[in-house]
Amino acid sequence: MPVSETFFPGRFAGKRALVTGGAGGMGRAVSRRLAREGADVVIVDIDAEAGSRLAGELSAAGGRASFAAADVSDAAAVASAIDGAGPLDVLITVAGGSAPGLVADLEPAEWERLFRLNVVSTAAAVRAALPGMRRRGGGAIVTMASISGTAGDPGWGAYNAAKAAIINLTQTLAWEEGRHGIRANAVAPGPIASPRMIATIDDAEQRAYRRHSALGRLGAPEEAAAAILFLASDDAAFVTGATLVVDGGLTARTGQPLAFDATLEHLS
């Protein structure tokens, strides 16, 4: 369904914000919204063509945007991109990835790959951004968790564990950096209809997601971006160490299947 966006012009005026994975899907929506709300946006993405194109589009529309190519699984490349951007006020780590597999079957190399792509990349970005934020007297960090990090979904053990680690990392950061005026929060999206997600699930899976959503639909990247920007903004000045779930109510029930099915049939 079409999403109505409400922008807050000037909310990020005078602030420099860097977004990893900022050229596609949810990251693109975040970068676009930051530019619309006055930020100087640095887009970091592995897709050089998409990143350069988006930075050009945002600049042509009157925003301030630049692009740096980097593979977030390469910690040195992430640090280099952040160092090149200069001191940041806002860091948003959208980049990551998933892969299915039973715990009994996954090879150690796959665990290492997923943790490097999700957890180590986040820690590397934060480590590179912290000195500049401390010099500026504060900042806001928003990390990308997932509802998969809040419970165990069979067949996704490594991904679940990686996203759970990001939630704990974010809580730790909130305490370690709070006295420096730096806030750290996580967003835990549920099913968001990004181009990548839509390309990987069939109609039956889409219907299943809608059935298990209290709102009866998938979320839009722009809706996730709105939640992320709230946490990154001064509107959330007293919010730190939190995980904001953006899942249309998918995780708001106990999971008891018989009660759920009977109630859903009645509501229909």
CB 9 within 8 A of CB 35: no
Q: What is the pLDDT of residue 261?
A: 63
**In b/e form, how buried is each residue of 166-202, taking b as 16+ CB within 10 angstroms?**
bbebbbebbeebeeeebbbbbbbbbbbbbeebeeeee
**HEC profile of 60-90:** HCCCEEEEEECCCCCHHHHHHHHHHHCCCCE
Better pLDDT: 1 or 173: 173
How would residue 167 be classed by pLDDT, with cut points 50, 70 and 90? very high
How would residue 265 be classed by pLDDT, with cut points 50, 70 and 90? low
How would residue 267 be classed by pLDDT, with cut points 50, 70 and 90? low
Class of domain 16-248: alpha beta
Average pLDDT on 153-178 reads: 96
pLDDT value at 260 more than 80: no
Domain extents in the chain: 16-248
Q: How many CB atoms lie within 10 A of CB 63?
A: 19
Q: What is the pLDDT of residue 208?
A: 85
Q: Tell me: the pLDDT tens digits for 185-235?
A: 999 999 888 777 777 778 888 888 888 888 999 899 999 999 999 999 999
Average pLDDT on 56-68 reads: 97
CA 156, CA 148: separation in Å to the nearest integer? 8
How would residue 98 be classed by pLDDT, with cut points 50, 70 and 90? confident
Q: Which residues are catalytic?
A: 159
Q: Tell me: the pLDDT tens digits for 168-180?
A: 999 999 999 999 9
Q: What is the pLDDT of residue 105?
A: 94
pTM: 0.92
How would residue 99 be classed by pLDDT, with cut points 50, 70 and 90? confident
